[in-house]
Chain A
Amino acid sequence: MGNMSDMVGALLEARSLSKHFGGVLALDELNLSVARDEIVGLIGPNGSGKTTFFNVITGIYSADAGQVRFDGADVTNASGRAVYQAGISRTFQHSRLSLPLSIFDNIMIGNHKRLNQGLWFNLVRRDDFRREFEEGYAAARALVEVFEPALADRLFEPIAGLAMIDRRRIEICRALIGAPKLLLLDEPSAGMTHEETAELMNDILLVRDRNKNLSIIIVEHEMGVIERITDRCVVLNFGRKIAEGPYRAVAADPQVQEAYLGAA
């Protein structure tokens, strides 16, 4: 894989990325790259910088040092909007859906870049708007059907009435509808049972099988999930990369075991 990714160039490449909050180094000269079509697991104990990495990439925090390249362009400290336009979508550790809005509305928020935002188009050219709306409906419905066919008939119900697993599904649909090149999943299994988690992972793999050009970085504490779906893992501890490789190799790494279990 290493040679291949050198040849075509990595999709995402973070070089010596650093971020500190006061005296705490949340990211410490982190180098991390993701190849096209690759699923990378980002693991490490709580507070090791995983979510901070996502937040720096997606413009919520700005990096103190280092560089991020995505798809051939420099996106270091780019705004959330610019990163999304470039093709990175994400989910959040604590679900950030808009609860009073319908399932359809929430999914369409993720489709922002493909919707006509003109005032004239939206207010006056209602026939054209209707066409775009119906296209959006068809796309959202098709996507939701992959995850849970029962939800597809409930697209105009508010999110507030949905179970946790369905909310996660909708959050992932929202991230996928804009056809990103890179999907950042921040603990998709949080708050769900083992069975639900397994189901959700099947869905994600299914979606990826359908569009081959999607790379994924997944932050996850469920090691079963990581083992099953990732091609490669990166282990963080105190903001630094302490191991990298296939799951089995890093799981056997004594440094990794020490990070998780504490110094023996």
Chain B
Amino acid sequence: MRQKPQASLWSGAIALAVATIYLIVLLGAERQAVIIALLIAGIAAVTAGAWLGLFTSVSASFADHEDALGASTIISALAVAAYFYDNHFVLLLVITVLLYSVATLGLNVQFGYAGVLNFAGASFFGIGAYTSAILNDYTAVPHLLVLLIGGLLAALAGSLLLLPVLRTRGHYAAVVTIAFALLFKTFLEVNDVLGGPQGMQVKGMKILGWSFNDNIEIGKLSLSFYMNYLVVSLLLLVGAFVMVRRLERSWIGLNLDALRLDETAANCFGLDVARWKITAFLIGNFLIGIAGALFGMVGGFVAPNNYTFADSLIFVSILLLGGIGNPWGLVIATIIVVVVPEKLQTIQEYRFLLYALMVIAVLLFRPQGLLPRPVRRYFPGWRPWAT
């Protein structure tokens, strides 16, 4: 058998560099006309690239050199951050992208792999955020530990839903999560300890005496305090990405796919369907909860209105747009969904309309999302051998 040669690293690296520069220009643009022109140019470039088949070699490059290109992506993110080192607004936007990506990765484990729809993503995100609020304000628990506890509490709260999710299938399970999202918001609003409808302040992060809410002074240079949070968020995303990737590329990922596609057949081949559904649901909520806990500290403020059913729908629409089951697609989709409405002030008020249109367009024209999930590759660059 002739082996397919390894794809070149360069096409992936060049695509990444172009995307990074484009993102920097877009994030730096101020005038609405310029931003609109940039967005149109971006869409045109991607469409033309797809027409010319440029992306085949890019995706082959990412498939074979995922580790090297993953590391390059981290450097790209740091380059974007470094370019906007004193720009609070842009850095907060980048942090939002990073943490929303972590949350949608969690949702992806639940829905993309195990097939468990979760329309309460924002609620679990909120559980993490409220955990930071309470623990940072009233206790001296170390803040990195608070992140972990936020994740664990989200997973724990999610286990309330396990029984109905396991007993019901498909749409019915989804309805249960919607009910949870509505209940959660009401619970926050009537609960005075949690600040009621006004919400509560969250103390900023502090690690070993290093306060995250102070600007960083290096000589004459003053970096935005958001740089602290950005580094931690990036580390969190990298960790979550690697774990979700490994999960997919393991027997567990195979189990989840098998039970999503055919529960009866999976059961006939010894799969413990309930065990794996529970595992996926808990891991997903854990990731969403950690992201929420950090996001609470970043924003410095939590309120019931930030964790509504509509916000959960944003998470789900990111999943649909990116390509269900494809972590790279999710990151790209998060960038689009978070950055575009923030930069396009003119459509801010219509953002939900925009999301709705986008989801409809995706479902109609590209139901697999921007980056459809490829067949499982257990190890990047691995080639089957002949016997």
Residues of A within 8 A of B (CB): 58-60, 79-81, 83-85, 89-90, 92, 96, 98-102, 105, 108-110, 112-113, 115-117, 119, 122-123, 126, 129-130, 133, 137-138, 141-142, 145, 152-153, 155-158, 174, 178
Asked whether B33 is an interface residue with its Cβ less than 8 Å from the other chain, the reply is no
| Given known A-B contacts A117-B252, A117-B255, A122 and B270 have beta carbons under 8 A apart | no
Closest 6 CB pairs of A and B: A122-B250, A80-B267, A98-B261, A84-B270, A96-B265, A112-B270
The listed residue (B251, B271, B377, B386) touching A81 by CB distance below 8 A is: B271
Within the complex, the shortest CB–CB distance from B134 to chain A, in Å, comes to 29
Within the complex, the shortest CB–CB distance from B371 to chain A, in Å, comes to 15
B247–A137 CB distance below 8 A: no
16 new A-B contacts, CB < 8 A, other than A101-B376, A112-B251, A130-B378, are: A58-B268, A79-B267, A81-B271, A89-B268, A92-B265, A96-B262, A96-B265, A101-B257, A109-B265, A112-B255, A112-B270, A119-B252, A122-B246, A153-B1, A155-B384, A178-B269
A115–B251 CB distance below 8 A: yes
A158–B261 CB distance below 8 A: no
Within the complex, the shortest CB–CB distance from B383 to chain A, in Å, comes to 10
Q: Which residues of B contact A99 (CB under 8 A)?
A: 261
Q: Which residues of A contact B247 (CB under 8 A)?
A: 122-123
B375–A157 CB distance below 8 A: yes
A101–B261 CB distance below 8 A: yes
A137–B384 CB distance below 8 A: yes
Residue among A90, A105, A145 with max Cβ neighbours from chain B (10 Å) = A105
Those of B253-302 within 8 Å (CB) of chain A: 254-255, 257-258, 261-262, 264-272, 279
Within the complex, the shortest CB–CB distance from B298 to chain A, in Å, comes to 27
Asked whether B350 is an interface residue with its Cβ less than 8 Å from the other chain, the reply is no
Interface size class of B (residues with CB under 8 A): 20 to 34
A210 CA to B279 CA in the complex, in Å?
39
Asked whether B22 is an interface residue with its Cβ less than 8 Å from the other chain, the reply is no
B376–A102 CB distance below 8 A: yes
Q: Which residues of B contact A85 (CB under 8 A)?
A: 270
Q: Which residues of B contact A122 (CB under 8 A)?
A: 246-247, 250-252
Asked whether B243 is an interface residue with its Cβ less than 8 Å from the other chain, the reply is yes
Q: Which residues of B contact A92 (CB under 8 A)?
A: 265
| Given known A-B contacts A81-B270, A85-B270, A108 and B1 have beta carbons under 8 A apart | no
B268–A60 CB distance below 8 A: yes
Inter-chain contact total with CB atoms closer than 8 Å: 106
A152 CA to B1 CA in the complex, in Å?
10
9 A-B residue pairs with CB within 8 Å:
A58-B268, A59-B268, A84-B269, A101-B261, A101-B376, A102-B376, A109-B269, A112-B269, A123-B243
Residues of B within 8 A of A (CB): 1, 243, 246-247, 250-252, 254-255, 257-258, 261-262, 264-272, 279, 375-379, 384, 386-387
A154 CA to B377 CA in the complex, in Å?
13
A80–B254 CB distance below 8 A: no
The listed residue (A60, A112, A156, A174) touching B375 by CB distance below 8 A is: A156
A123–B246 CB distance below 8 A: yes
B246–A84 CB distance below 8 A: no
Residue among A92, A138, A156 with max Cβ neighbours from chain B (10 Å) = A156
B254–A105 CB distance below 8 A: yes
Q: Which residues of B contact A142 (CB under 8 A)?
A: 387
A156–B261 CB distance below 8 A: no
Within the complex, the shortest CB–CB distance from B374 to chain A, in Å, comes to 9
B377–A113 CB distance below 8 A: no
Residue of A nearest to B260 (CB): A98
The listed residue (A101, A116, A130, A178) touching B251 by CB distance below 8 A is: A116
A90–B262 CB distance below 8 A: no
A81–B250 CB distance below 8 A: no
B251–A108 CB distance below 8 A: yes
| Given known A-B contacts A102-B375, A123-B246, A155-B384, A90 and B251 have beta carbons under 8 A apart | no
A129 CA to B378 CA in the complex, in Å?
10
Q: Which residues of A contact B269 (CB under 8 A)?
A: 84, 89, 109-110, 112, 174, 178
A130 CA to B243 CA in the complex, in Å?
16
Q: Which residues of B contact A133 (CB under 8 A)?
A: 378-379
Within the complex, the shortest CB–CB distance from A156 to chain B, in Å, comes to 6
B251–A117 CB distance below 8 A: yes
A158–B375 CB distance below 8 A: yes
Residue of A nearest to B261 (CB): A98
Residue of B nearest to A158 (CB): B375
Residue of A nearest to B257 (CB): A101
B384–A59 CB distance below 8 A: no
Residue of A nearest to B252 (CB): A122
Within the complex, the shortest CB–CB distance from B91 to chain A, in Å, comes to 31
B268–A90 CB distance below 8 A: yes
Q: Which residues of A contact B271 (CB under 8 A)?
A: 81, 109, 112
Q: Which residues of A contact B375 (CB under 8 A)?
A: 100-102, 105, 156-158
The listed residue (B243, B264, B377) touching A156 by CB distance below 8 A is: B377
Q: Which residues of B contact A112 (CB under 8 A)?
A: 251, 255, 269-271
A142 CA to B385 CA in the complex, in Å?
12
| Given known A-B contacts A80-B268, A113-B270, A108 and B379 have beta carbons under 8 A apart | no
A105–B376 CB distance below 8 A: yes
Within the complex, the shortest CB–CB distance from B367 to chain A, in Å, comes to 13
Within the complex, the shortest CB–CB distance from A168 to chain B, in Å, comes to 15
The listed residue (B246, B261, B279, B379) touching A100 by CB distance below 8 A is: B261
B262–A81 CB distance below 8 A: no
